[in-house]
Structure 1
Amino acid sequence: MQYRLIALDMDGTLLNDDHEITPKTAAALQQIAAQGTEIVFCTGRTPLNSIPYMEQLGLHHEGHVIVHNGAATVHTGTHEIVHQFAMEPQALEPYMHYCRQHHIHFDINTAFDIYVDSPEQMQAAAQQMYAKFQSFGLTTQLLPHWSELEQPVLKMSVFGTPEQLDQTHSDWSLWTQAFNMQRSGEFFIDLMHVQASKGTALRALAEQRVIAPEQIMAIGNYYNDLSMLQYAGLGIAVDNSPIDVKAAADEVTASNNDDGVYQMLNKYCGVSV
């Protein structure tokens, strides 16, 4: 089978724990792209801190990234928003109230911007997280009134300790869900449009490109990757995935720190570096 599209989660999958693409994996992706296969990053990140990795590979001129866990698809060359799932922001108010009441940090995302409630009251861990974004030119802004936002709201992201988020997820699961709630990492919960997911965004892009699911390989590591692993003809989990994600995948490869993505590119695409 020649795969026409390879969908890759970034953190915990393509990137090692130093947030790098290893030289071996980078060279393999470049070889595959040169053969005509489209490489698409599918990530919880924003365009501004995902597209630079495509630029690093030299694959950005005609590429795409699926960002905000599927809430938007962006052309990496032009930064045009190809597709996005807009939320009803007023419906987020109860979730925001809960976070304020329980001292849990949250941010509000449009396609390219991140808004925070009160920068001076951010916990140290949140400040450190946003400090890492600055190297990509991504800065937070103070959340204005909804009517003052010029772009649609795509995601509310909640950041806290695993214990805090376990309780938050449990509490919110009892609410009538107007949103797709995803545990996108050990320290994150994301709220998005009810139809937004990596799988639905990948399907929309594939249909636009006239690519059948069986011509797609997807590799991921967490619960927010399940929809794309199940949509793709070949869904692969890296070894550092939770057991439920491994069980849902067609195959399990080595961890993100052991070139798991490269091993699958070598096995199924025949590249070797």
Structure 2
Amino acid sequence: MNTVKHDAIELVLCDMDGTLLKPDHSISPRNLAAVKALQAAGVHFTLATGRPPKGMRDQVKQLGIELPTAAFNGGVLMNANGTCLQSHRLPLEAVHTTLKLLAPHEEVEVWVFADDEWLLRDPHRPMVAREQNSLGYAPRVVQDFEPFSRRVDKIVATCSNVSLLAGLELQLQDALKGLASASRSQAHYLDVTAPQANKGDALVTLAGHLRVPLERTMVIGDGGNDLAMFQRAGISVAMGQASDEVRQQAMQVTGSNVDDGVAQAIERYVLQPLRGF
């Protein structure tokens, strides 16, 4: 665990799945109250997630967020009015390399996100229903990803075999050097995005947009795709159920997502210092 280097926090950037959201994808009353208290105190709060923009709209509305949000691990920054502030798509070579490397592994489901749609070949694979419940919308079934290959925001590999995904993560990181980023957002989800599509760069862009110094930012997350923003923030907080690797890269560790860890972090590191106790 690293040393805290923050001053009074002015911006909180928070992951969604495994962090802000409970396992059933809901926002707990305590987490909601903590975010509302932040906003009432004049502290900026927004989201950075591997989800597509369409998959975070309900939560943005529930939280009353009026700031830009970071989808696809920072690949797309969306204004509150639905317009795009910034976008980074996968290079064509990275798309082809990723799909070729994943193709021999039959147990791995491959999803492509392009044109604001979730694309897949087989809607009956085991992980599809779970993802549809999480995102709140249905996929589009296609025979071939190639027609979309020049407009890809993210590729996801998912399966129940965590060891296989961990191995594929390392293979893709090696194969995609300089072309794309590959990291697991959760144990069962491996995301491939453009090099600039990372939460660290998203934090820098959002903080600059809001004119907030990085040392006055706090980030909260639970996955490998959160490490980039951990490295840039004034204070980084890992969720209690995160892996040892993720917890060790954070300055602080809070409770799990079933124990309102986000609210605990907001109360301890932002609201209590603001109130002077």
TM-score normalised by the shorter chain: which range applies?
Answer: 0.7 to 0.9
**What one-letter code is carried by the residue in structure 1 that aligns with 2:82?**
H
Q: Matched residue of 1:101: which SS?
A: coil
Change (3 A) 1:148 1:247: closer
Matched, 1:110 2:106: no
* Unaligned ranges ≥5, structure 2: 1-6
Residue of structure 1 aligned with 2:70, choices 59, 66, 72:
66
Change (3 A) 1:130 1:242: closer
Q: Matched residue of 1:63: which SS?
A: coil
Change (3 A) 1:91 1:32: closer
Moved over 4 A (4+): 143-149
Instruction: State the Cα distance separating 1:138 from its structure 2 match.
Output: 4.5
Structure 2 CA distance for aligned equivalents of residues 168 and 106 of structure 1:
12
- The residue correspondences of 1:27-38 to structure 2 (distance < 5 A) are 27-38=33-44
Instruction: State the Cα distance separating 1:169 from its structure 2 match.
Output: 2.4
Query: For residue 20 of structure 1, what is the aligned residue in structure 2?
Result: 26
Structure 2 CA distance for aligned equivalents of residues 223 and 246 of structure 1:
10
Q: Among the aligned pairs, what percent are the same residue?
A: 25
What is the number of residues matched between the two proteins? 264
Structure 2 CA distance for aligned equivalents of residues 236 and 85 of structure 1:
26
- Is the contact between residue 45 and residue 68 of structure 1 (CA under 8 Å) also seen in structure 2? yes
Matched, 1:45 2:46: no
Query: For residue 256 of structure 1, what is the aligned residue in structure 2?
Result: 257
Of 66-75 and 93-102, deviating more is 93-102
Query: For residue 153 of structure 1, what is the aligned residue in structure 2?
Result: 152
- Is the contact between residue 97 and residue 175 of structure 2 (CA under 8 Å) also seen in structure 1? no
**What one-letter code is carried by the residue in structure 2 that aligns with 1:220?**
G
> Could you list the per-position Cα deviations for residues 13-49 of structure 1 after superposition, in whole angstroms to 9, with x for gaps in the alignment?
1112222211111012112112222111111111122
- The residue correspondences of 1:83-162 to structure 2 (distance < 5 A) are 83-103=86-106, 104-110=108-114, 112-116=116-120, 118-119=121-122, 122-123=124-125, 125-133=126-134, 136-142=136-142, 146=146, 152-160=151-159, 161-162=161-162
> Could you list the per-position Cα deviations for residues 174-223 of structure 1 after superposition, in whole angstroms to 9, with x for gaps in the alignment?
42522111122111111111222011111111112211111111111111
Structure 2 CA distance for aligned equivalents of residues 202 and 30 of structure 1:
21
Change (3 A) 1:262 1:85: same
- Is the contact between residue 49 and residue 138 of structure 1 (CA under 8 Å) also seen in structure 2? no
Q: Matched residue of 1:15: which SS?
A: coil
Structure 1 CA distance for aligned equivalents of residues 234 and 8 of structure 2:
11
Taking CA–CA contacts closer than 8 Å with sequence separation of 6 or more, which of the two structures ends up with the larger relative contact order? 2
RMSD: 2.2
- Is the contact between residue 29 and residue 39 of structure 1 (CA under 8 Å) also seen in structure 2? yes
**What one-letter code is carried by the residue in structure 2 that aligns with 1:155?**
K
- Is the contact between residue 15 and residue 21 of structure 1 (CA under 8 Å) also seen in structure 2? yes
Query: For residue 182 of structure 1, what is the aligned residue in structure 2?
Result: 183
Structure 1 CA distance for aligned equivalents of residues 142 and 134 of structure 2:
16
